[in-house]
Amino acid sequence: MAVDTYTYTNKIQSILDKQSSLFQLSTTQLYKKILDNNEGELTELGAINAKTGKYTGRSPKDKFIVNEPSYRDDIDWGNINQPIDEETFLNLYEKVLNYLNERDELYVFNGYAGSDEDSQLKLTVVNELAWHNLFAQNMFIRPDSKEEAEEIKSDFTIVSAPHFKADPTQDGTNSETFIITSFKHKLILIGGTEYAGEMKKGIFSVMNYLLPKDDIMSMHCSANVGEKGDVALFFGLSGTGKTTLSADANRKLIGDDEHGWNENGIFNIEGGCYAKAINLSYKKEPQIYDAIKYGTILENVVVDEDGDIDFDDNYYTENTRAAYPINHIENIVTPSKAAHPNTIIFLTADAFGVLPPISKLNKDQAMYHFLSGFTAKLAGTERGVTEPEPSFSTCFGSPFLPLHAKVYADLLGNLIDKHDVDVYLVNTGWTGGKYGTGRRISLNYTRQMVEQAITGQLRDSEYIKDDMFGLNIPVEIKDVPQTLLNPINAWSKPEAYREQAQDLIDRFKHNFEKFGDEVSDLAENGGFK
């Protein structure tokens, strides 16, 4: 089918040129629209709380990439990157545009993804809902003025119509919900879900396609920098402590979730933070708690009729969130970029209780654990999960990686070599037994270990090699009990530890088989024996 891209570009532009399209509204203007439209509620902290309906998280089974010849061979097609043909996509896009053309108001934001100007992506975000537009303003990088925004000629556009529902029998989708990316048409089309995080992660997936094409590493990690300019990266899946450990009062935050690494150093892809809010308290996470104020969007938090928040209540979901501009955090780097990292931390919450609280990795081990992306799901977190289950997410971010995993692994490996980066595996999970028997490793101890790793104090420490995983464990760390460092010492029955450790090793090996012979050297040199 011959496709006239110009026709579709003109059509969306004609819709945006209508007087009812509201461009680059201020936070105050959007607050008024949100409250007037009953899209959210004002809370005691000054934040807006919005409900996202039945979709309280991402919908990975409804995510597609348009199968177009210009990049077809680059994509790692499968359950994560599902193909949809171009004609089907454009027919659905036409329906969405007709739907939006009938709305009384649309909200439009122009901004950027990427704080490094050489690789920055210019964005236009078109929203049906005012609170989604405020979310976009919080999460992406904001122009300094409306005049600057007007000059932006977007490289990529998000069109979000959450109240439009697809018909799977006609539209080629799996359900009423769809998140479709076309690299040819430079568009992300979203419908059928009010979960705002689809916009954020959609652009992250786009950057994970574009940046490696220019030999720039894209990473699902947080980053901070110390007073001496020492930069640390924190990779980890949900629940491992990525946001908590990078929000350090003694270090400046670069960003909490998405970064690039080019010849100049590290740069944040976003302009905001999307922190988990369940069980949030000032005592445990003061920086995040203080960031929740006027301008912040809360998602699915329980709020009473007086606007009082109960962060401990999971009535709507465990996945309650707070989206705020990064400048709501006082201790930040401006602009959000820094030099090359000195230290990389891989975070895992091992619910089996067998991995060391901290271990130093050589390059092959680092690549093995990067490709593995291990953590554990806990009993009760998902329907049917009654025992801890291993969860492997390639490169600590497989849902957002359009390219083959080896592309990202090779980039990271080359950068570790070039800049002589120390890499540590940190277990923020259990010790002395698996979940339900053992105990969670103290956050205070984890902070001590991480602090000494990223400040270089562990670089020349004495290490021993554990005989199950082949990992290098520090013999001693200041202010951390020595019995905690080698996990077998924390178990009352060493044989029970070895049995559980071998079970996890077997699971790692089975997972790594999916990468095939192409990375067999990593399995041999960096994996578990």
* Separation between Cα atoms, residue 502 and residue 486, nearest integer Å: 16
List phi, psi (to 5°) of 494.
-55, -35
- Residue 89 forms part of a structural domain: yes
- Give the model's pLDDT for residue 480: 96
Segment 71-79 mean pLDDT:
95
Query: Residue 224 pLDDT more than 90?
Result: yes
pLDDT tens across 162-206, in order? 999 999 999 999 999 999 999 999 999 999 999 999 999 999 999
Instruction: Please tell me the total count of domains within the chain.
Output: 3
Give every CB contact of residue 190 below 8 A, 6+ residues apart in sequence: 158, 159, 160, 161, 162, 178, 179, 180, 198, 199, 202
- What H or E segment, with its residue span, contains residue 29? helix 27-36
Q: Looking at 21, 59, 88, 238, which residue is catalytic?
A: 238
User: Does 168 share its domain with 69?
Assistant: yes
268 in any annotated domain: no
Which runs of E-coded beta strand occur in 27-142?
A: 41-42, 48-50, 63-67, 82-85, 106-113, 121-127
CA quadruple 294, 58, 110, 209: dihedral sign: positive
Torsion sign (Cα): 438, 443, 448, 450: positive
Does one domain contain both 308 and 426? no
Question: 26 a known binding residue?
Answer: no
Residue 116 within a domain:
yes
Residue 387 is part of which domain span?
A: 342-440+463-525
pLDDT at 128: 97
Checking 444-447 for CB contacts under 8 A at 24+ apart, the result is: 445/357, 445/479, 445/480, 445/481, 445/484, 446/241, 446/245, 446/357, 447/245
Residue 242 annotated in active site: yes
User: Which residues neighbour 212 within 8 Å (Cβ) at sequence distance 6 or greater?
Assistant: 218, 403, 407, 408, 411
pLDDT of residue 2: 46
Q: Which of 317, 67, 102, 58 is CA-nearest to residue 199?
A: 58
Return mean pLDDT, the chain: 93
Q: What residue has token string 């039945």?
A: 54
Domain-ending residue, one of 284, 306, 328? 328
441 is in an annotated binding site: yes
- To the query of whether residue 243 is one of the catalytic residues in this protein, the response is yes
CATH code of the domain covering residue 425: 3.90.228.20
Q: How far is CA 40 from CA 37, 48, 283, in A?
A: 8, 6, 27
Report the pLDDT value the prediction gives residue 336, as an integer from 0 to 100. Answer: 97
321 tagged catalytic: yes
> Where does the pLDDT of residue 387 fall: very low under 50, low under 70, confident under 90, or very high at 90 and above?
low
- Do you know the residue count of the chain? 529
The verdict on 20 and 81 lying in the same domain is yes
Reply yes or no on whether the pLDDT at 218 is more than 70: yes
32 with 62, same domain: the answer is yes
11 is catalytic: no
Residue 276 is labelled as binding a ligand: no
- Count of other CB atoms within 10 angstroms of residue 58: 19
Q: What CATH number does the domain containing 102 carry?
A: 3.40.449.10
Which residue of the set 33, 321, 337, 369 is catalytic?
Answer: 321
**Residue 416 · residue 235 · CB < 8 Å:** no
What is the number of H-type helices and E-type strands within the chain? Answer: 15, 30
Q: What global pTM score does this model have? A: 0.93
For the question of residue 238 being annotated catalytic, the response is yes
Find, among 341, 65, 325, the residue nearest to 223 by Cα.
Answer: 341
Query: Is residue 383 predicted with pLDDT exceeding 60?
Result: no
Q: Which of 160-169, 171-180, 277-286, 384-393 has the lowest mean pLDDT?
A: 384-393
Residues 317, 429, single domain; the answer is no
- Annotated active-site residue 201? The verdict is yes
- Residue 257 bears catalytic tag: yes
Same-domain pairing of 181 and 293: no
